[in-house]
Amino acid sequence: MNQQQHVAIPEQRHVDAVVSAFPAREARRHAMPRVSVVIPTLNEAKNLPTVFAHLPADLHEVIVVDGRSVDDTIDVARALRPGVRVVLQNRAGKGNAMACGFARATGDIVVMLDADGSADPREIPRFVEALMTGADFAKGTRFANGGGSSDITRVRSWGNRWLNRAANVLFGTRYTDLCYGYNAFWTHCLEALDIDPRPAEEAGRLWGDGFEIETIINTRMAKARMRVTEVPSFEFQRLHGTSNLDTWRDGGRVLRALLVERINGKGVRRTHVFLDNVAVAPPEAGRLQHEAGPRTGTDRS
């Protein structure tokens, strides 16, 4: 049942363009944006050399948000990239790591990247190109033409399919990969995301501190009527260490997040005019192909 599989890739979809009410933002898209990459870490010292080696050279900043690692993650990050910005989490969970990283980002674009080698840093130009050509939110997908996975199991694929359907019914979207966390967006979207970076002594544990953060981001982008482009991406197996992913537990958290976000007011904005849109970036977008993913001597595809 948990046998790993290559994901079947459906036909690419194209939809209508969107009318923007942000002329200043449109002008900024034609300049060279500053890209901030936010990488949450927890005992990822063995994985960082491969991940950092494949980061584009022209990034504005790399922000490592560490969850109190007990290995040499921070020292390795600083040795590999002397200009790296290291931020310590002030609460627990991936969601808090993202909140802390977003709060410290100074670029025009934020890219969310896992530290375990499952996402290819050389795909970052694809996401940037999608944003430069009109999207507010570039959503990675393993299920579009040019994407795939050597890590997803049949159970996870089945669960993701049903969660996608639930999200699309509840929020009027056309997401194909709700549970994939490789995403990018313009920093102006942070206001709509409304993710709280306050420390535990001020805020305690908050909704969105955990794995549900990715679903919260996806749904708040939809509620804020942001323009979304799905970007084909290839997922690899974790390079080293053990994943904290629990299929049934985390699937339940995603479902709960969909229901909570459907009824709360977070992310809702009614200040701009648009046509609802989820497009798919062509697989040739950017300079990369998924075959160029991280390797450490063993072909994982």
Q: Which domains does the chain have, with CATH numbers?
A: 23-288 (3.90.550.10)
Q: What is the pTM (predicted TM-score) of this model?
A: 0.78
Q: How confident is the model over 1-34, as pLDDT tens digits?
A: 444 444 333 333 332 223 233 334 554 555 789 9
Strand partners, 61: 36
CA-closest candidate to residue 208, choices 149, 267, 153, 165: 267
In 226-291, alpha helices (H) = 247-263
Strand order in the sheet with 183-186: 85-88, 61-66, 35-41, 109-112, 183-186, 137-141, 228-232, 278-280
Tell me the average pLDDT across 182-194.
95
Tell which wins on pLDDT, 1 or 269.
269
- In contact, 215 and 252? CB cutoff 8 Å: no
Q: How confident is the model over 99-157, as pLDDT tens digits?
A: 999 999 999 999 999 999 999 999 999 999 999 999 999 999 988 888 877 766 676 66
